Each structure stands twice: as C-alpha cells, then as structure tokens.
Amino acid sequence: MKLLQRYYIKEFFIALTIVGLGLSIIFSLVNLIDKLDDFMKWNPPVGDLLLYAALNIPKNLFYLLPMATLICSLFVFTNAMKKNEIVVIKAAGGRIRLLLVPFIITGFILSAFAFFLGEFVVPVALEKAEELRITITSPNNPNIGTTLRAQPHQRLSLIEGTLWLRDKGDSIVRIGLYSYEGTSANDIKIFLFDKGDLSEQLKAEKALWNGKTWILKNVRRYIFKSGEIQNIGELPYPNLEAPKYFLERVKKIEEMRIMELMRYMKRLKQSGYRNPKLIVDFNSRLSYPFINLFMLILGVSLPLKSRIVKGIIASGIGLAISLVYWGGYILSLSLGNASIIPPFLAPWLMPAIFAAISINLFRKLHE
C-alpha cells in the first residue's frame, strides 16, 4: 500500500508542478501583454518587462492553485480507474480510504503553503511589481534599467493607515489616518517651510475632497515667526494631490499582511469608519487557502465515486467545478462588500459549501 501511495503522490506532484506553475507563468505573460501599450511608450528594457511578469507569478499561483489541485487529482485517479488499478487494489483487500490518507495530509500541506504564499510572498512581490510599474512609466526615469531601484518618493508608505509625503508645494504632510475610500482623511498635520526653515504648521481634524480640491476642517494654524495661533473652520488646501494620486501610489490592500491589515482595521473602527471591503479582504486571506484541501478531497473522491469521470471529461469537469467555485466566491465577496450579507461571513460561504460536498463524497466511498 505504501508503494502505491508514494506512486500516486509522486504522479500528483509532477502534474501539479506542471499545471500550477505553467498556468501561473501563462497568466503573468498575458497580464504583461495587456500592459504593453502603457509600457512600450517608455522604451523599457526587456529585462524589466520579464521581471514584472515574474513578480506576478506568486499572485497567479496563489489563485490558480485550487484549480490545479482539483484537475491534477482528478487526472491521477481517473488514470488509475481507467487502468483498473483501483479494482485490483480492492480485489487484493486494500482499503481505499487508507490509500487516500497521504492525499488528505497533502491537502493540509497545500493549504499551509497557500497561506504562506499569500501572507509572505504575494504582498512583497506585488509591492515590488507596483514599484517597477511606476518606475517604468515615470517621466523622470525613462530607460533606467533594472529596477528594483525604484526611487523612494515613487510610492507612499502606508503604515497602519498613517502616511508621510511631500505635497506639490514641497511641504511635509502627515496624514494620521487615510481611508481607502479616497475622499477623506483624518488627523492632518502640514509643515510649511520658508527658505529651509519651518515657518508654519497646520493641524486639521479632517480633510475632505470636494471634487476639485481638499478642504481642511477644524484647522489650527501655528505661525512660528509671530507666535500667532489661528483657529479656522474650513481651509482649502490645493497643494495636496487628488485622490487618484493616492490610489495609485499608496500601498494597496493586497500588499498588506494580515497583522498589518488587522491593525489598520482597528484604527479605522476606533475613528468611526466602517469599511466592509477591508473586513471581507481580511477574512478572505484566512478562508481562501483552505479550499486547496477540499479541492483535493473532491478530486480524489469524484473518480472513485462516479464512472462518468473519465479521460478528458475529468479535466472538463475539474475546470467547470473551479469556475463554479470562483463565480460563487466572487459573488459572495461582492455581496459582503455591499453588506448584503455580513462581510465577515461572505468569504467563508463557498469554502464551507465545498467542504461539505467533498467530505460527504469522501465518506461515501466504497471500500
């Protein structure tokens, strides 16, 4: 039995490496081709373009791994059924569930790997890819060569919701709590300089975008030369960039790690903000890796349970099941983002449904 287990596991991992990595590379190249029109006007080196595609591979692998797991497990056991290997194992007194134990363990390992990939590899790779994209398309940096050398000012560092930046007037701005909705910010401090010396400081409770410029609310203005302090209800501040600038330059949600995202959500909640999308995204980070386990259980159970799953039909069924899962998963996330269903529950619906189906099929396998 151990020999057969090692054989099937080896076949599975060979197929998984080819399918998972192959599809991830293909999707990364397709994504690069989609952006070529934006890139080519800057005449970037080929090495930078290939690096950009490579940095997107971890993200694609993370999302494609469940589909690859399902298709490859279907492939292995469909071939075993086609060659009557399972019939021979049963005739020799072998227990099917015992044969599948290494696959259950492998499912847990793949889920742990997916969590590690999503938490530690994907955020870093996406951040580097975005830095590379900004550098390639920057008017100030044409043809700069390889670039993990992105200039520090090209991206805005968002640490638990806090931003530091220079505005259009070269003043230093601290945004204590930036919201991804893009039209508001809390706890603003602006340091204005005159000939290199600090001349004024503006402190505002809020900043709101009115469609044309930022409006500072409840402003306290410190004029250091005269020692004067002014309280201003509303103050237009045109030197701060439009929300689009922040959306392009601020670290994106998918580039955050779970603990960083959790601290950011806590700060938003304490300030009275409620962003369902952040809650959905946080829970999806936890729920999505588990589907690898249930896809593997489903993939080994279907061929052994149904005679319909044969040959090329198995790949079609695997693809169809994956599309059903993705469609349902995206729909549930959208409903969570809109608060039609509880945001914390939305990312767990499809994994829970597939868990119930796969475990039920596994339990009904004939020994």
Q: How far apart are CA 205 and CA 218, in angstroms?
A: 6
Query: Which residues, in sequence order, are CB contacts of 349 under 8 Å at separation 6+?
Result: 328, 332, 341
Residue 367 or 258, more confident? 258
pLDDT, one tens digit per residue, over 158-210 is 777 888 888 988 899 999 998 877 788 999 999 999 888 899 999 999 999 99
Q: By the 8 A CB rule, do 51 and 132 touch?
A: yes
Q: What is the pLDDT of residue 140?
A: 59
Q: Which residues pair with 203 in a beta bridge?
A: 189, 220
Q: How confident is the model at residue 275 (pLDDT cuts 50, 70, 90)?
A: confident
Tokens of 224: 């250091």
Q: How confident is the model at residue 1 (pLDDT cuts 50, 70, 90)?
A: confident
3-state secondary structure of 330: helix
* Of 211, 229, 154, 220, the residue nearest 188 (C-alpha): 220
pLDDT, one tens digit per residue, over 145-155 is 444 343 444 56
Length of the chain: 367
Q: By the 8 A CB rule, do 200 and 223 touch?
A: yes
pLDDT, one tens digit per residue, over 247-257 is 777 878 888 88
Q: What is the pLDDT of residue 183?
A: 82
Query: Which residues, in sequence order, are CB contacts of 125 under 8 Å at separation 6+?
Result: 55, 56, 57, 58, 59
Q: What is the pLDDT of residue 328?
A: 96
Q: By the 8 A CB rule, do 69 and 338 touch?
A: no
DSSP 159: E
Q: By the 8 A CB rule, do 336 and 280 touch?
A: yes
Residue 69 has pLDDT above 50, yes or no: yes
Residue 154 or 116, more confident? 116
Tokens of 309: 């799953």
Range with top average pLDDT, 44-53, 74-83, 260-269: 44-53
Sheet-wide strand order for 162-166? 158-159, 162-166, 172-178, 184-194, 197-209, 214-223, 228-237
pLDDT, one tens digit per residue, over 16-67 is 999 999 999 999 999 999 999 888 888 889 999 999 999 999 999 999 999 9
> Helices (DSSP H) in the chain: which residue ranges?
2-16, 22-40, 46-55, 57-82, 85-91, 96-99, 101-116, 122-136, 243-249, 258-270, 276-287, 291-305, 311-337, 349-363
Q: What is the dihedral of CA 3, 74, 353, 356, to 10 degrees?
A: -40
pLDDT, one tens digit per residue, over 287-316 is 999 999 999 999 999 888 766 555 567 778
pLDDT, one tens digit per residue, over 319-357 is 899 999 999 999 999 999 999 999 999 999 999 999 999
